[in-house]
Amino acid sequence: MRPLSKDAYQLFQDGILALADIEMTGIKVDVPYLESQITSLSDQILNAERTIWCTSEARAWKAMLKGKNTVLNIDSTTQLSSLLFKTLNYKPTKTTAKGNAAADDEVLQHIGTPFTEAILVKRKLTKVRDTYLTRILNEQVDSVFHPTYNLHMVQTYRSSSDFQNIPVRDPKQGRVIRRAIIPHNPGDVIGEVDYSGAEVRVAACYHKDPAMLKYINDPTKDLHRDMACECYLLKPGQVTKAIRNEAKGDFVFAEFYGSYFELVAPALWKASGDLIMADGSQMLLREVLNEKGIKTAGQFTNHIKEVERHFWEDRFPVYNQWKKDWYQAYLKRGYFDTITGFRCQGPMRRNEVINYGVQGSAFHVLLYSLIQIHRWLKGNDMKTQIIGQVHDSLLLNFAPDEVKIVCAKVREVMCEKVRQHWSWIITPLAVDFSLAPPGGSWNDMVEIK
């Protein structure tokens, strides 16, 4: 870890002290709920295992190991890979770092049989029970869980924590876990404040692409909607929130983080079989594409290839050139310096070189805000406390009579004060607030203005 300036060092020094206070405050958890959910999940895991053992694949698995000095292990990815790709002759779609056929969740989803689906169910349920609920239950003291935060473990200079990996892409898993987080006092309010598009805005401070800056500065423009139109050949009025989110996650952000058309097209094509246009026709996007002459996954991949070319060469050429120049400068020097005053060096892949500086700087914007908000709360004897930091958001336990004044201060710091502190922030910053009702859990939050 190498801060290049006194200011960079001071940011982490002040940050670790603030995070230590947050660790000490801790997160209140509902212990009876945790215990009941662990029991319920154990029953569900047992049912998933029963489903697995009733399949023909399980019988083939037993036959495969018959006579060998090997115990059948339902959690062994090595045995599962051998079963799927050697015994059952499925075509491997992914390899491990050692070159063997992978049997991870993505591969099992691609196979899509009742056997692999049951394996996936068991994996998800087991992870929620053992990785999250059981660990929280075992580590809580007097119904308070004290997560650990580090600022020296990640090459991007982001924080790391045993509280930050709660699943968000799977709403069902996330709900089960978030339901366990409750306010410290019965009438208190759990709230979360989240930077909106933090990494996109910070990336623009690096590459300064005029077209991207227009998207960020003009609230009438919507990049995710526009790319949904291009990917699925739609008009803006035909794009639903679900279609926009699909384009946002599986095209826009995938491209920003270094993916390319052959990897993004399959997810977009799969979604086209489920998503419906907003014009009331009830037409699936797959039907729309068929009418426009795109009838196969291969044709769709070729279409996304052209969308990708236009995205980088015509829509964001300055951003595209910055990526090339940034990577070439790293190859020449063996390191790059972030806009917040830290040096990343050593062996890195191209995508890591392009993304690490942006990811670290986006977190530093949050860290600076966290420090200032924490100081203000303590200095003004507020009962409200920061109780967690999750990626680009802060989790707070509000005293009910302090919600409005604290939210106003939080917005001032996160959107205005931080820009005054760092003149390199040339984009506006925006935050989203979510609050639970008094006494409600983290899962009960709804977004507020």
pLDDT at residue 167, as a whole number: 64
What is the biggest distance separating any 2 CA atoms in the chain, rounded to whole angstroms?
A: 72
Range with the lowest mean pLDDT among 85-99, 141-155, 211-225, 347-361? 85-99
pLDDT digits (tens, 9 = 90+) for 409-448: 999 999 999 999 999 999 999 999 999 999 999 999 999 9
Q: Are 434 and 448 in contact (CB under 8 A)?
A: yes
d(CA 344, CA 323): 16
Task: Count the neighbouring beta carbons within 10 Å of the beta carbon of residue 106.
Answer: 10
**DSSP 8-state symbol, 313:** I
75-88 per-position pLDDT tens digit: 999 999 999 999 99
91: DSSP letter? P
**Domains of the chain with CATH codes:** 6-29+149-196+363-448 (3.30.70.370), 31-139 (1.20.1060.10), 201-357 (no CATH)
Q: Tell me the mean pLDDT in the region 235-257.
A: 95
Q: What's the alpha-carbon Rg for the chain, to the nearest Å? A: 24
Q: Is 135 helix (H, G, I), strand (E, B) or coil?
A: helix
pLDDT reading at 92 higher than 80:
yes
pLDDT digits over 117-144, tens only?
999 999 999 999 998 999 999 999 999 9
pLDDT at 373: 98
Contact 147, 23 (CB under 8 A): yes
Residue 173: count of CB within 10 angstroms of its CB: 17
Average of per-residue pLDDT values in the chain = 94
In the three-class reduction of DSSP (H, G, I as helix; E, B as strand; rest coil), residue 159 is classed as: coil
Residue 161: strand, helix, or coil: strand
Query: At 1, is the pLDDT very low, low, confident or very high (cuts 50, 70, 90)?
Result: low
Contact at 8 Å (CB) between 427 and 205? yes
What is the C-alpha separation between 434 and 444, in angstroms, rounded?
Answer: 9
Report the chain's terminal Cα–Cα distance, integer Å. 39
* pLDDT (average), residues 270-295: 91
Asked whether the beta carbons of 19 and 149 are under 8 A apart, the reply is yes
